[in-house]
Copies of this chain bind each other. A is one copy, B any other.
Amino acid sequence: MSSRLNVGAIGLGRLGRVYAQDLAQRVPNARLVAVADQKAELAEQFAKELDVPKWYQSHQDLLADPDVEAVAVVTSTSTHKEVVLDAVRNGKAVFCEKPIAMSLEEAREMLETVAAAGVFFQPGFQRRFDAGYVAAKKQIEAGVIGTPVVLTSTSRDPFRPPLEFCDPKVSGGLIADMGIHDFDVARMFMGDVKSVYAVGCTLAYPEMKSVGDIDNAIVSMVFESGALGAVHLSRNAVFGYDIRAEIWGTKGSLQIGYYRQTPILIMTKEGITHDVVPYFMERFESAYLAQIQDFVSKVQHGGEPAVTGADAMAAMRVSLAATRSLHGGRIVEI
């Protein structure tokens, strides 16, 4: 029994509940001992349903609980800095969903505090734990495609968020909100980014102009190595959820991604049809689980975080540069 890590979950929104449920039921070496959410009744109900011993409204109360050894922070981005700093002060190991902060300044302050305290800190980038991306990384390291020279990374949502969440003041805008995963993937495969140029449009949902956001973007990149990249972002993959990457090397190439959700083809006079992965929860269910398992395991048994705070800051830096490029209509060096 003592071999389990006692974890608390802070924030029980859509994604927060996924992590909390995984911690409660699917991570054998973790025990979900407490949950916290600003909506007290949500915390209570969730705790009762999943047999979680304690629930809190305030994250400070949860962090003051000596039973809690580590926390998963899945609150809204604007509160990440406060919650993470509080957790660090209480000596808890921290998993923090991306983006870790609203600005590079916030992020820098957080990481300095983390470093000074010497606590374990891991930002959330679940694609790094997806079977496809993991397999690609292994193949590249094994030299199967030679030296990577071009990357494309694609993220397309099946619909736009509600307008209030599109507001760049809340979301950071399409490039920061969606693209940060692609920029992290880009760095994982290709190394650091040297310059970016972004173009965008608002043609699929003209109403998004009212809040100042775009619905499609293409970001072209030059890496420090001289290699090239392009990130494609969209809110109108109306048929389903389209997450892909291609890495082209000197000896071969890799394609990551798939569309079909259910292993069935329907063949009628209208043609051959299959369904599509509907959205991110279906696409990355296993990756979210693998990520939080990895966090628990590393905290327990030691080792460097699979994703570091420096990785999170580097991806933020690229996404902010690409956003500036979009607004300035110019190439931005990083």
| Chain B residues whose CB sits within 8 angstroms of the CB of A232 once the complex forms | 150, 152, 230
Which stretch, A94-102, A246-254, A298-306, touches the partner chain B?
A246-254
Chain A residues 247-300 with CB under 8 Å of chain B are 248-276
Interface residue ranges of A230-251 to B (CB < 8 Å): 230, 232, 234, 236-240, 248-251
Do A226 and B201 have beta carbons less than 8 Å apart? yes
In angstroms, Cα B229 to Cα A235, docked, is 16
Q: Is B139 in contact with A266, judged by CB distance below 8 angstroms?
A: yes
Contacts of A258 in B (CB 8 A): 260, 263
Check A204 against B254 for contact (C-beta < 8 Å): no
A261 to B240, CA, bound (A): 20
> Looking across the interface, which residue of chain B has its beta carbon closest to that of A134?
B262
Q: Is A222 an interface residue (CB 8 A)?
A: yes
Minimum distance in angstroms from A103 CB to a CB of chain B: 27
From the candidates B230, B236, B268, B271, name the one contacting A274 in the complex (CB within 8 A): B271
A104 to chain B, nearest CB (A): 25
Say which residue of B220, B250, B252 sits within 8 Å of A239 (CB atoms). Answer: B252
A144 at the B interface (CB under 8 A): yes
- A149 CA / B214 CA spacing, docked (Å): 12
Q: Indicate if the CB atoms of B252 and A268 lie closer than 8 Å.
A: yes
Residue pair B255, A267 in contact (C-beta under 8 Å) = yes
Rounded to whole Å, the gap between the CB of A250 and the closest CB of chain B is 5
Tell me the count of chain A residues lying within 8 A, CB to CB, of chain B.
Answer: 78
Pick the contact of A1 from B51, B144, B201, B330 — CB < 8 Å?
B51
The chain B residue with its CB closest to the CB of A250 is B204
Contact B201 A227 (CB under 8 A): yes
Query: Does A135 sit at the interface, judged by CB under 8 A?
Result: yes
Residues 209-233 of chain A, each 1 if its beta carbon lies under 8 Å from chain B, else 0: 0000001111011100111111010
Q: Does A26 lie at the interface of the complex (its beta carbon under 8 Å from any beta carbon of B)? A: yes
Which residues of B have CB within 8 Å of A26?
25-26
Residues A264 and B150 in contact in the complex (CB < 8 Å), given A217-B228, A218-B228, A248-B236? no
The closest CB in chain B to the CB of A283 belongs to: B263
| Whole-angstrom CA separation of A227 from B226 in the bound complex | 28
Residue A329 at the chain B interface, CB threshold 8 Å: yes
CB distance from A170 to the nearest CB of B (A): 24
Q: Which of B145, B229, B256, B269 is close to A252, meaning CB atoms less than 8 Å apart? A: B269
Q: Which of B204, B226, B230, B239 contacts A149 (CB 8 A)?
A: B204
19 other A-B residue contacts (CB within 8 Å) besides A139-B266, A204-B250: A25-B26, A149-B203, A149-B215, A150-B201, A150-B218, A150-B232, A150-B234, A199-B222, A201-B227, A218-B228, A236-B248, A238-B252, A238-B268, A239-B271, A255-B265, A256-B263, A271-B274, A271-B276, A272-B274
User: What 6 pairs between A and B have smallest CB-CB spacing?
Assistant: A252-B268, A132-B263, A258-B263, A239-B267, A149-B203, A255-B265
